[in-house]
Chains A and B, each alone.
Chain A
């Protein structure tokens, strides 16, 4: 234990960043936080707040510091702090990112500008309204549709009792798309969403692919939902959705693959 302590002191001395040391040099950064309150009709403006940062400080950490010690009225939404719940999305230095997943040190900018996610209506400060985004998500029926599971139908004893085994290849077809946390970053970065309110957006389309490519799914009408001039065909493959996705979902890939199924270039190999 003593040895371990010595080691720590040694290495910290070298780096000059031991928090127990009086000379510990705490860096500071300026947060520029977008402030507005649409319900009260207040004009929007930016507040500048100076916060201490360390190498590992995330934008969410610094916003929470500012909220705790500088201005408790800042509106932010967050929950898990580990890129799992998808609630802390915001525009950070011009690009949609998760605040809990973005370290200030990686931005390499002395000023960190936090704004609400574009393409989402603003409720207050950095909090945006996801109603339309979730409606698009719901519109593609984001669940496995299989008559054998439908309780309203007469259940075929044999087929309902057998397990739906999937091969590794079958799982690989949709697995990455099922990692979506519905954070809305892709929706925010998409240039088509920016101009077309009826376009379902990369998230919903990628989820449609996720269920369509699942060998357990038998939803026949799924593709019809987006076979529309405001639907699947409005994607022009700018790729920005895949660029900003924090979970490696690659919505652009899902959309293009969906199109290839729609055009009959890929064969539907589902075997439900």
Chain B
């Protein structure tokens, strides 16, 4: 038992804890965290969605029963989260596609103190904020349609 503890201590890898805490390294780390969480969430949704629509093969009754399950406040809340997750994942994903091929990051240069990394520039930060604002707007619109009543 002690040996196990020692080994873990020697490795000292942060593991999942390393990326689950988004609060230490600024907005870029928050966007990284949200991108991963929304990705996992959408994957779970996708599996559930395929399961839901597959009930169609069971005939109209099976489909109606399945649909009733989603027509609840919890079902709608879940759908609002899906709207938020897909909006953020897409908007931030487009930013990341560009950054992953070196677009929008600025050029390497001669660093002068105090150092401002050009890859964490205002353009990138604005991209994150725009993705967050779009997410909020999409969720509000979704909430208005799904929960707003007639």
List the interface of chain A (C-beta within 8 A of B).
Answer: 36, 38, 41, 44, 94-95, 116-122, 128-129, 172-177, 179, 189, 191, 193-195, 197, 213, 236-240, 242-250, 252-254, 256-257, 259-260, 263, 265-266
| Cα distance, A244 to B144, chains bound together (Å) | 42
B25-57 Cβ-contact flags toward A at 8 Å (1 or 0): 110110010011000000000000000000000
A224 to B8 CA separation, bound complex (whole angstroms):
32
Q: A41-B2, A237-B100 given as contacts; is B32 within 8 A of A256 (CB)? A: no
Residue of B17, B106, B108, B109 ringed by the most chain A CB atoms within 10 A: B108
Counting chain B residues whose Cβ lies within 8 A of the other chain, the interface size class is: 35 or more
Find B120's partner among A95, A177, A252, A263 (CB 8 Å cutoff). A252
- B111 at the A interface (CB under 8 A): yes
Asked whether, in the complex, the Cβ of A172 is within 8 Å of the Cβ of B110, the reply is: yes
Q: Which residues of A contact B100 (CB under 8 A)?
A: 237, 256, 259
Inter-chain CA distance A272–B75, complex, in Å, is 63
The answer, yes or no, to whether B61 is at the interface (CB within 8 Å) is no
12 A-B pairs with CB atoms under 8 Å apart are: A94-B24, A236-B32, A239-B28, A239-B32, A242-B119, A242-B120, A252-B105, A252-B117, A252-B120, A253-B108, A257-B105, A263-B101
The reply to whether the CB of B6 lies closer than 8 angstroms to some CB of chain A is: yes
With contacts A243-B117, A260-B101 taken as known, whether A195 is within 8 angstroms of B15 at the C-beta atoms is yes
CB proximity to A under 8 Å, residues B1-31: 2, 6, 9-19, 24-26, 28-29
Task: Tell me, rounded to whole Å, the shortest Cβ–Cβ distance linking B147 to chain A.
Answer: 34
Q: Is the CB of B120 within 8 A of A243?
A: yes
Asked whether A257 lies within 8 Å of B102 as measured between CB atoms, the reply is: yes
A225 and B131 alpha carbons, distance in the complex (Å): 35
Q: Does B74 contact A (CB under 8 A)?
A: no
B122 in contact (CB, < 8 A): no
CB pair B6–A243 under 8 Å, yes or no, is no
**B108 and A119 contacting across the interface, CB-CB below 8 Å:** no
Known: A236-B32, A256-B99, A260-B101. A38 touches B10 (CB 8 A): yes
Contact of B117 among A174, A238, A245, A260 (CB under 8 A): A245
Q: Once the chains are docked, how many angstroms separate the CA of A265 from the CA of B14?
A: 34
Those of B89-123 within 8 Å (CB) of chain A = 96, 99-103, 105-113, 115-120
Question: Is A119 a contact partner of B14 (Cβ separation < 8 A)?
Answer: yes
Q: Give the CA-CA distance A194 to B20 in the complex, in Å.
A: 11
> Which residues on the B side are within 8 Å of A117 (C-beta)?
12
